[in-house]
Amino acid sequence: MENKELLKFFTDIQEEVKASLISQEDGSNPEQLFTDYVLALLADAGETENYRICYDEKISKRGVEHKINAYALYENYETLDLFITIYSSGDNLVSIPKADVDKAVEKLSKFFRNAVYKEYVNEIEESSEVFDLAHTLASSSEITEFLTRVNVFVITNGEIKSDLKATDKVGGYPVFYRAIDINYLFNLSEKSGVAIEIDFIANNWKIPCIDNQIDNNDYQSYLAIFPGNVLVDIYEQYGSRLLEQNVRSFLQFTGKINKGIRKTILEEPHMFMAFNNGIAATADEVTIIDLPGNKGKAIGSVKDFQIVNGGQTTASIYHTWKKDKANVSGIFVPVKLTIVKDKENFSEIVGRIAEYANTQNRVSASDLSSNRENHVIIEKLSRSIWAPPKAGENFQTRWFFERSRGQFKNERQRYGLTPARRKQFDKQNPRGQMFTKETLAKYVNAYKEVYSGKKLLIGPHFVVRGSQKNYSQFLNYNFSSKPDNIWFEDAIAKTIIFNSAEKIYGVKPNSIGDMRYITVPYAISWLALNTNYKIDLGKIWRTQSISEPMKKVLYEVMIKIEAFIKSNAPGSLYGEWAKKEECWNAMKDIDFGIDLTQLKSDFEDLNSKRKKLSQEETQLAETEAIDGTLKSIHSNTWKKIEAWGRETGKLSLHLGNIAFSLSGKVRNNRTFSESERQNGLEILDIVTKKAPELFYDMDEFFEREDHSKESEQIEVTLEDIKTLVDWDKKNKRLQIYEFKLMHEILKGEKELTDRNKYFTQKNIEKAKKWGFKPF
């Protein structure tokens, strides 16, 4: 029998792809949307970075010669990830035959084999989505110097039960093969990462160690000695995946050789251990074995091995071995391996190890914690700030910040407990208005330059370099101030500009070209700079769109910029040149003959003032949003949840008591305590995942309650409703559905029944708390 959780996961993915297909306006297809979904999961887990969705097939008389769905070329040029997708659009989970997997591997390997030979790039049209990659592989000196490993991924929403070959040589480069099927994705989503496991015994590696005899609940440490050839083998397979992911966001990880390390290996290998500070690493688990003849202990295997300091040392040893053919078996590196026992505080402990271990690239506590605090603040703002209605619409929406992957889906499941509520959630939280940490960094960094003295720290060339590099720049140099409501509104305005530019650019075959990932950020940066950053972001937030003149100008700018890059890129390496500051400097002051005076109506009115919410007002809005969620669960349902938790043991005694308390407070419309708010949300998360059937009859409870209230005679006039609507247009305190009801009654679309009078009175009472004076 199939695993029920696995089947549910499969169904969720299929629904995610279908929902994304509906929300897309650029002609995407299910296979590429699935590819994007999977690569986002892999990127979150640190298993790929800077990926780019693309598609290319070479078809001959013999059939499909090669195929590629996406690629990721790492910032340091050491690693190239190639992806091919086998996607089934059906509703049933299928097993992928070995023959299909082997064909997919061969197609993708052929693409790489063909691409590294220079003549192949001449067979590809410049408008092809993979032209940039093929040209880079054939012509870039960085590829020749640094490319260390090629990872060939077969990704599928089916099950792969056959084994892939582990490794091979293609075009002179080591290639590693990996299958990413539905089981792998399920494990990835459950564990937020698939751990690197290294079996030292199976590889016949002897790693002597001594352990820290101090007993504590936080960690266990070992001091080990790694031979150079062991580090070379490990690094060749895993590369930057070895570097702890949070640390990688702050350190500029590179595969370039440290000259001092190289000199020591080549000239004085016996002195390496004396000169080098060694490596600090962490692991989730470790097995220790006894060496024969009572010669001490050694490491047998490690699980979730991550380097928090010493990535540069490891990379330099590897490249000296590879390029200089150096014998590294005679050098030895000290390694401090820490097993973190306290799983609840794992991230904090690893962050502190990184902070104190990284002395050459200093990582401060603020790098590893305060920026996360900013993300929490943005998350709260995104849940409590309602965007104004778009033109032609009369309801408000939210821009949903997904601080960690899966939040949007979980929130939709938690709120959308019935079809009606799910429909309401989707209306209030459009999928196209969900953004992540990485996309936020892209939107904000593309808008405005940031300098430190004469050094340019933020510019469009960083956006082009990919999500990892750009996100790192954002965290380090463009995210220090504490976000407030105006910062949030401006960030959404920049998001709207970016998304609008992408739609204007278009997709094949109806697009300006095939450099959207380059042209869009460059065009936005150029336009903002050349208008002296006068664009009225507040107006864009209020209208939730950019003006027609701005759309026209953006189109003109993108055409000019794309042509400029293609005409001026050295050796026609468009993508490589666009990653460099010299590309931005070469174009940013050129006027391109574009009349920017047509944007005068889009410039900010310096006399207009925007209201900055106080911390108390922001907290009040956040509290109201949580209260609304808790009150949306009927008191009878809270009572059922408490009984379920008591009978099954799925809720602790404390949470059971909270559910019981919430039942009474919802029924009597009483104020929640802060503890009840936070624990109430936790309870809803648990029930949504483990017993969603508890919510199924909730609509019936509310309907019976509504019928009983309809009999209550409440005197409310149309004049009262008009006063409330006019007030809320300015203050925006009612929920979308509350405002919509008032608006529809005024327009005559709904009658002022006793039931609607009751709802109006409730809205008036709510508005009074925010200063509304109805009479």
Instruction: Give me the pLDDT at residue 505, please.
Output: 92
Largest distance between two CA atoms of the chain: 95
How far CA 488 is from CA of 369, 392, 482, 484, 491, in Å, comes to: 20, 24, 10, 6, 5
Confidence at 23, pLDDT banded by 50, 70, 90: low
Instruction: Give me the pLDDT at residue 422, please.
Output: 81
**Using one digit for the tens of pLDDT, what is the confidence trace for 215-272?**
777 788 899 999 999 999 998 888 877 876 555 555 555 556 678 888 999 999 989 9
Rounded to an integer, the average pLDDT of 261-287 is 89
Q: Are 199 and 241 in contact (CB under 8 A)?
A: no
Confidence at 177, pLDDT banded by 50, 70, 90: very high
Instruction: Give me the pLDDT at residue 623, please.
Output: 87
**Using one digit for the tens of pLDDT, what is the confidence trace for 102-113?**
999 999 988 898
Instruction: Give me the pLDDT at residue 190, please.
Output: 67
pLDDT at 99 over 90: yes
Task: Identify each DSSP E strand in 362-489 by its residue range.
Answer: 400-402, 434-436, 450-452, 455-458
pLDDT at 365 over 50: no
- Distance between CA 80 and CA 72 in Å, rounded? 6
- Distance between CA 696 and CA 699 in Å, rounded? 7
- Distance between CA 607 and CA 626 in Å, rounded? 36
How far CA 418 is from CA of 14, 425, 432, 639, in Å, comes to: 20, 10, 22, 18
Strands 208-211 and 219-227, by their bridges, are antiparallel
pLDDT at 478 over 70: yes
- Distance between CA 166 and CA 181 in Å, rounded? 16
Query: In terms of Cα–Cα distance, which of 241, 233, 41, 69 is closest to 152?
Result: 69
Confidence at 366, pLDDT banded by 50, 70, 90: very low
Q: Are 242 and 74 in contact (CB under 8 A)?
A: no
Total residue count of the chain as it appears in this document: 775
Q: State what percent of residues in the chain have pLDDT above 70.
A: 90
Instruction: Give me the pLDDT at residue 457, please.
Output: 95
568 CB-side CA count, 13 A: 15
154 three-state secondary structure = strand
pLDDT at 59 over 90: no
Query: In terms of Cα–Cα distance, which of 729, 640, 656 is closest to 692?
Result: 640
Average pLDDT for the chain: 85
Rounded to an integer, the average pLDDT of 441-452 is 96
Alpha helices in 24-93 (DSSP H): 30-44
Q: Are 188 and 194 in contact (CB under 8 A)?
A: yes
The answer to whether the bond into 521 is cis (omega within 30° of 0) is: no
Rounded to an integer, the average pLDDT of 682-689 is 86
